[in-house]
Structure formats: structure tokens, C-alpha cells
Structure 1
């Protein structure tokens, strides 16, 4: 039988879609023009999903048929069968029809088993990998967020195809002033995609800041979102519609290892495209150079938040038109790093937190840039610029976050916030990679002893550093 003639039993996916839409079987059957009993048979895999029904689903609920059909029970059953043939459970002798039944009717269970097995496989590899890596080398990270960070780092946080496509889309919209650009995006969503946009009360969205209602084809924006958030949310929706193929192609080339990684990559790259739409490459880079990277001015000119601006500044890697090679980090009140892009030069450890002597987390002002000149143990100098971020929009949020960007001190002449600082000979704050890896002696701010040295403690004296250690 040809692949195109293969019968599709996608009952669980149909059921999940209906639940996401928040409608019952009777309502969906009415909208699709079928009887409730027929829809019930489809959801229970007692009838295959026909091509005509797939088209009705796509037209009625604005779904991508490729995504809806992808990863159906056939692939899931194959993966599940492979997992259950592992020596650990092979003796149970699970029949193939049982495997098929679980894969077809309980896709969530299949995915959970697959995740457990991937974690088990990683654990099995650790002893051998640790021996091959040698002592002191950190284990590789496999979580979706860590995979995404590695993927973005390999690309230098620059995706040329998406940048070019978003820049062309911005040219078609033809507006530069943020309020006019937002209006143009709203009009394009409405005229070309029949998608409306509406600002609603915070209690309607119950903790969500943006929600796309597939059923009614409208973007709901929380009243808590500032103007920059509303502009970005609408740009995200437009890019999701018009740049879907380019984004999907970029995700595919990244070869995500699992479904969660694929989804997080899709979201991240759509965010990237949205930033490139709001801050088109050439215009934004020229503005950054002309203003000497005046962060508050750039925020006002493009109508973006400090976090959106920082992300965009790290992505200016176009051949022949590169920007300053910034790194970026988002720090929370407890010193936890929630976002990071290492850039070409990152003065801190790749894993874990930053140095406690780098006080970027103390930034209090959302408009006044806190500038610091820091120097590593190896003598490298960096300039960092930090801004406090406003509240997240959640009324019960207590955490305070700071966004900071930085670069090597040799770029000081291109940065207005470094004026008055002697980047080469001025006094700099000595920092380390992170306490556990830092061998800077006598540091009064040390929070942990270095794992590379033995402690040198004596009852007859107390040093300024809480963890004195031996030189050798």
C-alpha cells in the first residue's frame, strides 16, 4: 500500500485538539459538519481520519496539517517497541498488539516512557563518558533548555535566513514608529489571516499574558502587558503565520533530540523572528552604532523592553555588517542565572552562576545603566552594562530581575555608557569564573572553596577569605 493511501488513526490527537479549544464533542461535530457519533468514532480510533476531514480541521481551527499528522502512532509504536525490547524488560514479552494499542490510544503514556528511557540511557553512559572526559570535566547536559542554549551558541545567536525574511516583512509593513508598526501588524493579521487582536482584563487570562485563541482566531493580550510587550506579542503572531516555513526549516536543521526540544526551538526562533521584525537588522545596527549603543534611547526608538533589546544586540552577526559581540545574562534576586548567551567572550564559568564580586545584580534602575569594568584572573578586561527589569506582570511576583550585557573592553569607544572610564588602565573589579573554579586568593566575597585546591584551615587564625586554600 502506498504511503499516501495509509489510513490515519489520530483519535488521541483529535481529542487533545478539542480539549485545547475548550469545546465538547457536540460543538466540534457541529462546526465540522459531522454527527457527534462519527466524531466519537474518530476520537476512539474506530474510524480513520480522511483527507477531507483533515482539510476541514485545518480550515476550521487554523492548524498545520503537517504538524497534526506528524509523529502519529506508527512512529510512536516503533519507538515504544524498541524501548520495550531493552534487556531490562525484554523477559516480560510484551506483545506487539499491546504496544500498538498504547501508542495509538495513549500517546502521553508513550511519551512519558520515552522520556524515562532517554534519562536511563544518559545515566548508563555517564560512567564511560566521565572516564573518557577525565576528572573535573562537567557532564553534558541533555535537558531541552540546555540543548537550546548549545544550539543558539553554535549559531552565534544569528540566524541569517530568519533575519532576512523578517527584515523583508518589516519593509512591506513600511512603518518605523512603534505605535504605527503595531497598528500595521494588527491590520495585516486581520486582512491576510483573519486574526484579530484584543486587550482583555488580567483576570480573563488567569495569569497568562498572551494567548492565541485558535477557535475564534484572535490574539488575547493581557492589560498588564506594556506597549513593548503588546508590540512583540503581535509581531510573534505575525511571524508564526508568515514565516512558518522558514522557522520550521531552521528547527529541522537543528535536529532537536525530542519533542520538547523541537517545541522550545520553535518558540525561541519565532521570538527571534519577532525581534528581527520589530528591530530590522540594518536599521537597528545603524541606530546602535550612531547612538553608540545608548540603551534607553534604543529602547524608546524601537518601542522594546530592556530584555528584548539585550537579546537583539547579541544577534548582530551578519557577515560584513557585524555589531559589537555582546554577551548577555539575566539574573534574579538570588543570583540565579535564568538566561544567558555567552557570545565570543564570556568572563564567567560555562556552568553555574557568576562571580559574587560582579554586582550587576544590584542594578535598581530601569532607565539608568549601571556600568562596570571588570578584570578576570587571566587579566582580560570587560565592560558590563546592567538595567533593572520591571515587574513581570504577575501581581504576586516577588522576584526582581536584572538584564546585563557585556563585551571586551577594547570596544569601549563604541559605547556611550563607557565614557569617562579608562578601559585599559582604569581601576577594575577583579572577578573569577565562579567560586568553585576560582583560584583568586584572599577573596573576601568567596562563597565556596575551589574544587581544584585543598583547604588550608587553622584554629589559631581567621583569614579575610572564608575558605583559605593551599597554593599547591
Structure 2
């Protein structure tokens, strides 16, 4: 077993004290020297995989407790909390945060809990089901390799039996599960888009669903029937105490598998690379909707076959995020509950059905400026007849430094002066002289001058 670096001194010290052992006694039981154990406890030596196995064999403990930093989102999770305006004068950098997590992880967790419980500067409360699920998805970087492999195997079988994805999915459902697919008029299914009728052995789908949505719903039903145990095991592994969070995460995993069947990993990543991630071409080639495609692009983290690290968000007209997946992008742009009105995701509502592209500059919690190529488009939800369904904007984003070869980047200037400056919503944004500002920054000191009027009604004091 190869050794892996893990500094977990405080956790080992707590374990030793729980067992009532001296360093010499524990070292003897583990077959190491007391001086080496002392260095491990002081984070001057890493905890190797070999020593981790010995600890697991000798004591009753959960190895995951050695990585308690995951409970707060690691260094990035603490960095985002400490970016709150209340701590702006402290200038805490990433290295200090790393040292804090390493030396006193429980103190860091206590801080994170208090910060989140107090409202967290506009962040969602940490114990809300949606936020619990979002943190778990981000912990996995929205990539679930076992589900991907199983979906790829199913897709290969379907491709051999029938070139028409929808017909192949329906045929598998019929042959393997004795369930037929039936499309019903809206007056028969006024309040549902999908319904499994086990008495009639039918998967009933509303006529409101377009072809890509019908295929997705059939794949979703196959996931529920054929991957139930794997999905349930993953959901149980998250150890949610909140049942609603467990069900939401399970629903996400089910949809993940369905999308992976429609866009099997190997074929999909090759198509992305061959087309320069051309979004309309990928939609047509795999017969999926824009939102389905955007979801899939955030999941491409297979070892040895990684795709570009996109983030994805779904926004309503009020600027609220109903979905947000940072994936492997590392962006803090999605940390607020609402987005900047200058971001293309909000302006795309004015150009329904069109791809809107923008180079945006964003000030990270560290104070550094980052640049992102963002692509947004409206999507119509399946809902009421007569075109009265809900409308959202789905936005994709990627670090501008990685975006130069993308099909949708053609003609876009990547020069910094051409970037649109955006922020994390007005209450969390400290950019000065923004004419779009509707609220003062939370925690910022304001300056007032009765003799003049600036570009914004709220002037931030120097």
C-alpha cells in the first residue's frame, strides 16, 4: 500500500487521550517509536497509509474522523466564511487557514458552525437540506465514478441493441422489467410529468415532455430499478441526519445516473474534445437538453480522462440560484445565494433561447481578481400547457485561462479591460463605483457627502 501524506496530529492526540494511553504506550501498540508518534501528533510528520491501517486495526475509530476538515468544506470552505466583511481587516491568508485546520480542526469546525448558524453573511444555513446536499456533492466534486461506470455499461448495451436512444431505453424497460412506456395527454396527467403505475405495468409520461426529457425520464426510471442499491449506499454514506437531505441527495444521484446513460463518459468526453466543447453540437449529438448538458459538463473528473472544470448554475428572474455546482472549478462565484445583475446569467432572460457569452472578472475572497468565461441560455421548464411553463437561465462557467479553445469562445476578447466586473450579489460585493448597486455592502463603512452625488447611492468609505 503506498504511503500518502496526511497531517492529522490533533486527531491522533484525541484518540490517544480517549484510550487513556501515554505516547510510549500507544507507540508500543502501533509498533513505532515514541519520538515518531510525538512528531506525528505535532504535525511534523505525516500519517502514512500504513500507520492509518495499524490505527484502524488497534482501535475502534472511524478513519474519516481524521479528515474533519471536510465537514467545513476544507480550506476553501473556511476561506469563504472568512471572506465576510466582518473579518476584512484581519487579512487572513490561505496559509494561515491551512495551519488552523491542521493544528486545531475542531476549533475550525466550531467557528464554521457558529458562522453558519448566525446566518453566515447571507449564506444558506448549514443545516438546511439543500445546503447539506450541495456540500456533499461538492465534496465528491460532482463525480461518482461507480455510477458512471455502470451507466456506461448500460449505454453500451443499449447502443448494440438499438441506435435510437429513446426506443432502446423503452425496450430495456419492457424486456427487463415488463414495464411499457405510454405517453398520456395533459388532461389525463394535469399535475405530473412522470408516473409509474405498477398495477398497469406502465411508465406514464406527459405529452408536455419533449423528446430529450422523455428519454431522461425513462433513464431515470431505469436508474431507480437497476441502481437502487448503489444509489442508496452512496446516500447512506453521506450520513445525513436530515431525512429530506438524504432524499434530495438520492434524487441527485438518480438523475446523475440517468444523464450518464444518455451521455456515457468515454463517448461524451471524446466528443467534447473533438468539437471544442461546442454546446449546440453536443446537444444534437446526444439528444439532450441544454440543462442536461450543463449538468454533465460539471462531472467530468474521471482519473486519467478528466474534462475541463466547468461550473454550472440555474437562476430564476429574481436572481435566486435553484441549482449550483462548482464541480472542480474552485470558483467562489456561486457562494452567494443570489448573483450579480451584471452577470450574463441575468441578462440572458432578454434573449430567450440564445447562447449569451461573457468574459467576467470576479474578486475572490482572497482579494485576487479572477476571470471567467460564462455561457448562459434560457431553458423552459415542462409545466402548464399553452407555453406557461417556468423559465430559468442555465449558466456554465470556466476559468478564462482554460477557455481559449472552446467553440463558444471564438470572437471573444480575453483582454482584462474587456471583462465585465461582477460580484457575489450587492450585499456581499465591495466593488466601488458600480452604477447597478442596489444595496450597500454588508459590514462596510459608508461615506456621505451632502455636497455631491456619486455614480451609486452608496459610497464605500476608504
Q: Same fold (TM over 0.5)?
A: yes
2:137 to 152, 155, 177: 152
Q: Which residue of 1 aligns with 2:20?
A: none
Contact 1:147 1:261 survives alignment (8 Å): yes
2:155 to 160, 170, 174: 170
CA gap 1:195/1:127 in 2 versus in 1, 3 angstroms: closer
CA gap 1:127/1:162 in 2 versus in 1, 3 angstroms: closer
Q: Which residue of 2 aligns with 1:322?
A: 306
Contact 1:348 1:434 survives alignment (8 Å): no
Q: Secondary structure at the match of 1:199?
A: strand
Q: Which residue of 2 aligns with 1:371?
A: 357
Contact 2:119 2:125 survives alignment (8 Å): no
Aligned ranges 1:122-201 → 2 under 5 Å: 129-130=114-115, 140-174=125-159, 180-201=164-185
2:405 to 411, 414, 426: 414
CA gap 1:257/1:461 in 2 versus in 1, 3 angstroms: same
Contact 1:332 1:399 survives alignment (8 Å): no
Flag the structure with more relative contact order, 1 or 2, with Cα contacts below 8 A and sequence separation at least 6. 2
Unaligned 5+ residue runs, structure 2?
A: 1-109
Tell me whether 1:395 sits opposite 2:385 in the alignment: yes
Deviation at 1:215, TM superposition (A): 2.6
Deviation at 1:201, TM superposition (A): 0.5
CA gap 1:246/1:340 in 2 versus in 1, 3 angstroms: same
Q: Which residue of 2 aligns with 1:229?
A: 213
Aligned ranges 1:302-313 → 2 under 5 Å: 302-313=286-297
1:279 to 263, 267, 270: 263
Tell me the distance in 1 between the aligned counterparts of 2:251 and 2:120. 36
Q: Secondary structure at the match of 1:372?
A: strand
Tell me the distance in 1 between the aligned counterparts of 2:389 and 2:274. 37
Tell me the distance in 1 between the aligned counterparts of 2:166 and 2:119. 54
Q: Deviations over 1:192-239 (max 9, x none)?
A: 111111000112112211111133221110001000010000011111
Deviation at 1:129, TM superposition (A): 2.4
Tell me the distance in 2 between the aligned counterparts of 1:128 and 1:189. 46
Deviation at 1:148, TM superposition (A): 1.0
Contact 2:138 2:326 survives alignment (8 Å): yes
Q: Deviations over 1:442-470 (max 9, x none)?
A: 11011210113112123332211121121
CA gap 1:140/1:333 in 2 versus in 1, 3 angstroms: closer
Tell me the distance in 2 between the aligned counterparts of 1:139 and 1:259. 18
Q: Which residue of 2 aligns with 1:26?
A: none
Tell me the distance in 1 between the aligned counterparts of 2:263 and 2:161. 9
Aligned ranges 1:240-389 → 2 under 5 Å: 240-343=224-327, 344-348=329-333, 350-363=335-348, 364-365=350-351, 368-377=354-363, 378-389=368-379
TM-score normalised by the chain length of structure 2:
0.70
Unaligned 5+ residue runs, structure 1?
A: 1-124
Q: Secondary structure at the match of 1:204?
A: coil
Tell me the distance in 1 between the aligned counterparts of 2:242 and 2:336. 23
Q: Secondary structure at the match of 1:414?
A: coil
Q: Deviations over 1:249-282 (max 9, x none)?
A: 1112122222222222221111000000010001
Q: Which residue of 1 aligns with 2:17?
A: none
Contact 1:330 1:403 survives alignment (8 Å): yes
Tell me the distance in 2 between the aligned counterparts of 1:452 and 1:258. 32
TM-score normalised by the chain length of structure 1:
0.69
Deviation at 1:139, TM superposition (A): 7.1
Contact 2:362 2:421 survives alignment (8 Å): yes
Deviation at 1:399, TM superposition (A): 4.4
Deviation at 1:155, TM superposition (A): 0.4
Q: Deviations over 1:143-170 (max 9, x none)?
A: 2221111110110000000000110111
Tell me the distance in 1 between the aligned counterparts of 2:114 and 2:125. 9
Tell me the distance in 1 between the aligned counterparts of 2:384 and 2:455. 42
